[in-house]
Amino acid sequence: MKKIDETRLKNIVGEHNIKTDPSDLYIYGSDSSVHHAMPWAIVRPETTRQVQDIMRYANQDMIPVTARGGGSGMCGQTVPIQGGIILDMKRMNKILEINLKDVYCRVEPGVVDDDLNLALKPYGVFYPPTPASSRIATIGGEIANNASGVRSVKYGATRDAVLGMQVVLANGDLVHLGARTRVEASGYQLHKLMVGSEGTLGIVVEATLSFVPIPEFRCMGVANFDSLKDAGDAIGSIMAAGAVPSMLELVDSVAIKAVNKTMNLGLKEVAAALIFEADGMVQEAVDYEINKMKAICKQHNGQDIYASYDPKEREKIFMGRKKLFPALSKYDDNLASTALADDMAVPYSKMAEMAEKIHEIADRHHIVMTAYGHCGSGCMHTKILMDTRRKDQWDDAKQAITEVYDYVRSVNGTTSAEHGIGLSKAASFKLEKSDSLTLLASIKKAIDPHNILNPGKLSQAPENWVTATNLRYSVNS
């Protein structure tokens, strides 16, 4: 381990913005993933100049730097596998401008997603990517991972909402990427490259984001299904029919049971349910979309189909979905919910097969897996529920995940739809992108020649995620 020049860092950010005590380092060594690794220092910049000075120092001494937002990443993106500095961006938390005339806002990377939407709400507009973790996730983290969420089926992911950004490069240089315009064709769209780069290409210090009007009408519906296949087929049919849902979510029986147990929502415990929503400025247009989705659900043997404009009813349905991830840890007192193989995407026509495949693989490997997600955008979430103390369960989980990803790639799906790659998904990512890995490495080398920006992630990540870092669980041998 290299020695950190604490004095130099304190001179840059002030004594109150650095921590090196082992008990603090331990806390910052994990996120919402299964991984843990110790950083050497936590440094908290408050200005772009400070970020530049930190990067100049790190580049000169070749010290790894991992930027961190809310620490809600699920694949170990901010777990510092090679140690170094954790750059905690939460103090760069200013909303700099809300420009209604030009339809953009400028924010620092530490602004929390929900806070931005609270600030935009009085103007009748919202920032749409909205991952389920929006109460903690920062805009910087969302950019790093190209976050998306329940409404991305209509409004797109983070990449679609980012117009431009200021980025501090590995050598400390500040660059302005993109523009403050809706479209840009001026050369490479480097700001789009930064989105989803997981902190491996630069540190975002300011972002220009677009927003959209809050719709006047929102109607949410639910349909229950006795088979997962019927629900999956309904998703494919809805999208193929040209419907425009603002949300199209699948929850399976495992997910329904978990939400009922935790939140007492009284959802009917069926094989699967679809939650669908349409929104717009004209009620007739919303009705048209909702009726279309209701009819398709019925064609696929959907039951108990109903829809409501009532905000309280919508909130009840939506909160259940939003809190599903933490609720899964209540499914069984002996099983912990682990963020593994958690956000693959497959073509719509494969959605039903994918959902069934997940359960079949889980049964074969004696673990519990759930199938849910933003299926309208092709994204299927799973969580693996297992006894994390048992080593054999980790072996089972690893085998199950390998099989799930093998299936995803075999049907031209993708390893990650919205959480990123980090450490946990590197093996499948490398197989999926095998013919472009050299290209990715060339880009990384050109922008970060000393490989100090979040090293050991994406294509550099170890292929065996179980042994890549310490696991954050106590595992008996």
- Which residue in the set 10, 49, 56, 91 belongs to the binding site for other proteins (CB under 8 A)? 91
User: What string of DSSP letters covers 21-56?
Assistant: -HHHHHHTT--SSSEE---SEEE---SHHHHHHHHH
Asked if 389 contacts 336 with a C-beta cutoff of 8 angstroms, the reply is no
- Binding of other proteins by 393 (CB under 8 A): no
Strands in 265-338 per DSSP E: 272-280, 303-308, 336-338
- The binder of other proteins chosen from 3, 185, 264, 333 (CB under 8 A): 333
Is 28 a binding residue for other proteins by CB under 8 A? The answer is: yes
Structure tokens at 227: 């088979």
Site map 40..79 versus other proteins, x via CB under 8 A: --x-x-------------------------xxx-------
We find the least distance from the C-beta atom of residue 473 to other proteins, in angstroms, to be: 5
- Which of 305, 283, 310 minimizes the C-alpha distance to 293? 305
Helix, strand, or coil here: 86? strand
Name the residue nearer to other proteins (CB basis): 118 or 241: 118
Q: Which of 6, 24, 61, 184 binds other proteins (CB under 8 A)?
A: 24
Q: Residue 289, interface with other proteins (CB under 8 A)? A: no
Measured CA to CA, the distance from residue 68 to residue 66 in angstroms comes to 6
Contact flag: residue 382 with other proteins (CB under 8 A): no
Q: Which is nearer to other proteins, 71 or 128 (CB)?
A: 71
Q: Which helix (H) or strand (E) holds 148?
A: none
> Between 359 and 472, whose beta carbon lies closer to other proteins?
472
Total of residues contacting other proteins (CB under 8 A): 62
Among 37, 87, 116, 144, binds other proteins (CB under 8 A): 116
Residues 95, 75 contacting (CB under 8 angstroms)? no
Return the residues of window 407-466 that contact other proteins according to CB under 8 A.
Answer: none
Closest contact distance (angstroms) between CB of 362 and other proteins is 18
Q: Given candidates 364, 389, 390, 445, which one binds other proteins under the rule CB under 8 A?
A: 389
* Shortest reach from residue 171's CB to other proteins, in Å: 28
How far is residue 119's CA from residue 133's CA, in Å, rounded to a whole number?
A: 18
C-alpha closest to that of 247 among 349, 317, 169: 317
Residue nearer to other proteins on the CB measure, 334 or 464: 334
Would you count residue 133 as binding other proteins (CB under 8 A)?
A: yes
Coil vs helix vs strand at 144: helix
- Determine the Cα–Cα distance for residues 116 and 132; give it in Å rounded to an integer: 15
Is 102 a binder of other proteins (CB under 8 A)?
A: no
What is the enclosing helix (H) or strand (E) of 131? none
Binding part of the chain for other proteins, among 23-31, 160-168, 277-285, 400-408 by CB under 8 A, reads 23-31
Give the CA distances from residue 179 to residues 102, 191, 462, in Å, rounded to whole numbers and listed in that order: 12, 9, 36
Q: Which residues of 82-120 are buried (b: 16+ CB within 10 A; e: fewer)?
A: bbbbbbbbbebbebeebeeeeebbbbbbbbbbebbbeeb
Q: Using CB under 8 A, which of 5, 56, 98, 399 touches other proteins?
A: 98
Q: Which is nearer to other proteins, 112 or 278 (CB)?
A: 112
- Does residue 208 interact with other proteins by CB under 8 A? no
For 393, residues 6+ apart whose C-beta sits below 8 A from its C-beta are 366, 367, 386, 387
State yes or no: residue 23 binds other proteins (CB under 8 A).
yes
- Find the binder of other proteins among 118, 241, 281, 411 (CB under 8 A): 118
- Pick 43 or 278: Cβ nearer other proteins: 43
Residue 263 C-beta: closest distance to other proteins, Å: 7
For other proteins, which stretch binds (CB under 8 A), given 147-155, 159-167, 268-276, 328-336?
328-336
What is d(CA 280, CA 270) in angstroms, rounded to the nearest whole number? 30
* Residue 80 interacts with other proteins (CB under 8 A): yes or no: no
CA gyration radius, the chain: 22
81 is an interface residue for other proteins by CB under 8 A: no
* Segment interacting with other proteins (CB under 8 A) among 57-65, 112-120, 350-358, 446-454: 112-120
Among 327, 340, 354, 461, binds other proteins (CB under 8 A): 327
Query: Of these, 9, 12, 13, 36, which contacts other proteins (CB under 8 A)?
Result: 36
Query: Where does this chain touch other proteins (CB under 8 A) — which range of 216-224, 288-296, 324-332, 409-417?
Result: 324-332
Q: Please, which residues have CB within 8 angstroms of residue 259's CB and are 6 or more apart in sequence?
A: 251, 265, 267, 320, 321, 323, 324, 327
Closest CA to 408 of 463, 336, 357, 459: 357
Yes or no: say if 302 and 234 are a contact pair by the CB < 8 Å rule.
yes
Give the footprint of other proteins on this chain (CB under 8 A). 19, 21-24, 26-28, 30-32, 36, 42, 44, 70-72, 88, 90-91, 93-98, 107, 110-112, 114-116, 118-119, 133, 135-136, 262-263, 323, 325-330, 333-334, 336-337, 339, 388-389, 470-477
